[in-house]
C-alpha cells in the first residue's frame, strides 16, 4: 500500500518532448463519457469497401462555376488584403526541408477565416462535412522540389481529399502507389480517398496555388 512520490522524475529532454506532443494541434484527444463501460473495438473503416473504389482518382476540369472561380482568383490576387502564413514544412515532418505559405479556412469543427464563406462554395453541391479547408501557396523558387509522400489529416480515417488548382503551372501532384501524375491546370479538381499517399512537385515557372479540401460526404 506504499504510495511513492518522485518529483522531477523525467529527464528534461524526454519531458520536453512529451509537452510538445500534447501541445501539438495534430495530437488527438478522445472523450470518454463513462470510462467504466465495456470496451469495444474500433471500427474497420474499409471492411465492406471495394478496393477498386478506394483507389479511384477522379479528375474534373473546369470544375468551378466561372463566378465562383473568379471570386477566388480575385481573393488570392489581392496582395494587400488576403493574408498568407509561413509554414516551414509542407508535411507533418518538421524536417522535410520545404516551406510554403498557407491560409486555413476551416479546421476540424469550425471556420478559422472570415473568407470561409467563399471557400465553402467550391464543394457546396457535395454537401460535405468538412475536416479542413486550406489554400497553399508555393513560391516559384526554381528548385522543383518534391514533397515527401503523405496523407492529409490521417487522424480522420475514411474521408475524402480534393485539390483545386488555382493556376496553370509546371508543378504537379503525384501518387505513390499508382505513380499517376496530375498536372496543375487552372480550375481542375482532383478527388481521391484520403488514405492514398501523394506528394507535390514545386513549379519553377510561376507560384503554385492550390486549395485543399478534406471532408466526409
Domain boundaries, the chain: 54-216
Q: Which residues contact 24 (CB under 8 A, 6 or more apart)?
A: none
Whose cell is 487552372? That residue is 186
pLDDT score recorded for residue 95: 66
Over residues 129-180, the pLDDT tens digits come to 999 999 998 887 767 778 778 888 877 888 999 999 999 999 999 999 899 9
Whose cell is 470496451? That residue is 39
pLDDT score recorded for residue 49: 46
Over residues 106-115, the pLDDT tens digits come to 998 899 999 9
A 10 A CB-CB count for 201 gives 20
Fold of 54-216: Jelly Rolls (2.60.120)
pTM of the model: 0.72
DSSP codes, 134-175: EEEEE---S---BPPPB-SSTTSTT-EEEEEE-S--S-EEEE
Report the percent of the chain where pLDDT is more than 90: 47
Q: Which residues contact 196 (CB under 8 A, 6 or more apart)?
A: 55, 57, 151, 161, 175, 176, 177
pLDDT exceeds 60 at position 43: no
pLDDT exceeds 50 at position 80: yes
C-alpha cell at 155: 487522424
Over residues 18-28, the pLDDT tens digits come to 887 765 544 43
C-alpha cell at 162: 480534393
pLDDT exceeds 60 at position 41: no
pLDDT score recorded for residue 51: 43
Across the chain, mean pLDDT equals: 81
Amino acid at each position: 500500500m506504499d504510495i511513492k512520490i518522485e518529483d522531477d522524475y523525467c529527464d528534461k529532454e524526454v519531458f520536453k518532448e512529451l509537452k510538445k506532443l500534447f501541445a501539438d494541434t495534430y495530437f488527438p484527444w478522445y472523450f470518454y463519457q463513462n470510462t467504466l463501460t465495456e470496451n469495444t473495438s474500433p471500427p474497420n473503416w474499409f471492411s465492406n469497401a471495394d478496393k477498386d473504389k478506394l483507389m479511384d482518382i477522379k479528375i474534373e476540369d473546369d470544375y468551378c462555376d466561372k463566378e465562383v472561380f473568379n471570386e477566388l482568383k480575385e481573393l488570392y490576387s489581392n496582395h494587400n488584403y488576403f493574408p498568407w502564413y509561413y509554414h516551414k514544412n509542407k508535411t507533418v515532418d518538421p524536417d522535410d526541408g520545404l516551406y510554403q505559405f498557407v491560409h486555413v479556412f476551416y479546421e476540424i469543427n469550425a471556420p478559422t477565416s472570415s473568407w470561409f464563406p467563399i471557400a465553402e462554395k467550391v464543394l457546396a453541391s457535395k454537401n460535405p462535412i468538412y475536416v479542413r479547408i486550406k489554400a497553399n501557396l508555393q513560391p516559384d523558387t526554381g528548385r522543383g522540389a518534391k514533397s515527401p509522400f503523405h496523407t492529409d489529416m490521417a487522424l480522420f480515417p475514411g474521408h475524402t481529399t480534393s485539390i483545386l488548382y488555382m493556376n496553370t503551372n509546371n508543378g504537379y501532384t503525384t501518387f505513390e502507389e499508382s505513380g499517376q501524375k496530375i498536372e496543375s491546370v487552372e480550375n481542375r479538381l482532383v478527388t481521391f480517398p484520403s488514405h492514398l499517399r501523394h506528394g507535390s512537385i514545386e513549379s519553377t515557372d510561376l507560384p503554385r496555388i492550390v486549395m485543399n479540401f478534406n471532408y466526409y460526404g
